[in-house]
Amino acid sequence: MSAPVSLKPHRGAATQAEAARKGAPSGAAASLEVEGVSLSFGGVKALRDVSFSVAPGSITALIGPNGAGKTSMFNCISGFYKPQQGTIRYNGEDITRMHPPHRARIGFARTFQNIALFRGMTVLDNIKLGRHAHLKTNILDAFAYWGRAAREEMELRRDVEERIIDFLEINHIRNMPVAALSYGLQKRVELARALAMHPRILLLDEPVAGMNREETEDMARFILDVKEEWGTTILMVEHDMGMVMDISDHVVVLNFGEVIASGLPHEVQGNAQVAEAYLGAGEPAAIKEKIHKRASVA
């Protein structure tokens, strides 16, 4: 991958060894294969025979015009929608019918296009919640908050503080209610919550939508760091072509529920069908401009 020219140098980025010491899952990056997935809502065919795969430890971008079916694909992968046809495999295991919470336990984490933070909780609690599936406290422990429960909560707090809050630079907001945060910060907290899940595969639905330039660059840097330091496999939906071209290893293009192209970023960029899909869907011509401009930068 080419060096992301527009990104700031890492501030205080941990080394591989340091990451391992902090207990981040190392090695064992997960792979994901989507095979012939079809999904329809009544008459609307949201996905038609979609196939693609996500290589372990890579950043794969899923792009396409509005309504192409990207979020629906994510929902199939995280188990909220059940596709009518096709299989989804995680490290070779068929998980198409697996219950969503179980997926979280085996290493899936995601963020949502329309921020889905829990508004009644502080930032810290939202992040802690992400760890839920990996904790063991039972109801009796919880009532007593003694021994195991207290110990587990302390470990969790340390993990969240040192591995996530410091990393994402959200120390100053940890005790704020999420509703009080700016949009960009809310997106960052969502990423934090997903990271707390110790994911082996991370699904990001439009991580930089609605962010300004600086926030976008911060987010891109965090995503790259997650991939590089923790070896997490990342699948990302994003409309910001600049960011997609900069950080992804592989791009899959959806249009009207079908995969119309896939390949390396620069291959997809040159694809006439892709440009047409965006223009045909009434996206401003500026997108095409942008694709070409980024191409010349890269």
Ligand X SMILES: Nc1ncnc2c1ncn2[C@@H]1O[C@H](COP(=O)(O)OP(=O)(O)OP(=O)(O)O)[C@@H](O)[C@H]1O
Contacted by 68, from another protein, ligand X, Mg ion, none: CB < 5 to 8 Å by type? ligand X
Question: For residue 69, is it left (φ>0), alpha (ψ between -120 and 50) or beta?
Answer: left
Tokens of 207: 């991580």
Specify the length of the chain in residues: 298
10 Å CB burial of residue 143 (0-12, 13-18, 19+) is exposed
The answer to the question of residue 49 lying near another protein (CB under 8 A) is: no
In 10 A of CB 180, how many CB atoms? Answer: 12
Contact region with Mg ion (CB under 5 A), list: 46-54, 65-73, 94-102, 191-199: 65-73
Smaller CB separation from ligand X, 24 or 63: 63
- Using alpha carbons, select from 62, 55, 10 the residue that is nearest to residue 33: 55
Q: Least distance in Å: CB of 270 to another protein? A: 34
Smaller CB separation from another protein, 17 or 139: 139
Q: Which of 39, 65, 71, 204 is the binder for Mg ion (CB under 5 A)?
A: 71
The answer to the question of residue 197 lying near another protein (CB under 8 A) is: yes
Contacted by 200, from Mg ion, another protein, ligand X, none: CB < 5 to 8 Å by type? none
HSE of 70, CA atoms in CB hemisphere, 13 A: 26
232 with 247: CB under 8 angstroms?
no
Binding site for another protein (CB under 8 A): 71, 75, 78-80, 99-101, 103-105, 109-110, 112, 114, 116, 118-121, 125, 128-133, 135, 137-139, 141-145, 149, 152-154, 157-158, 161, 175-176, 193, 197
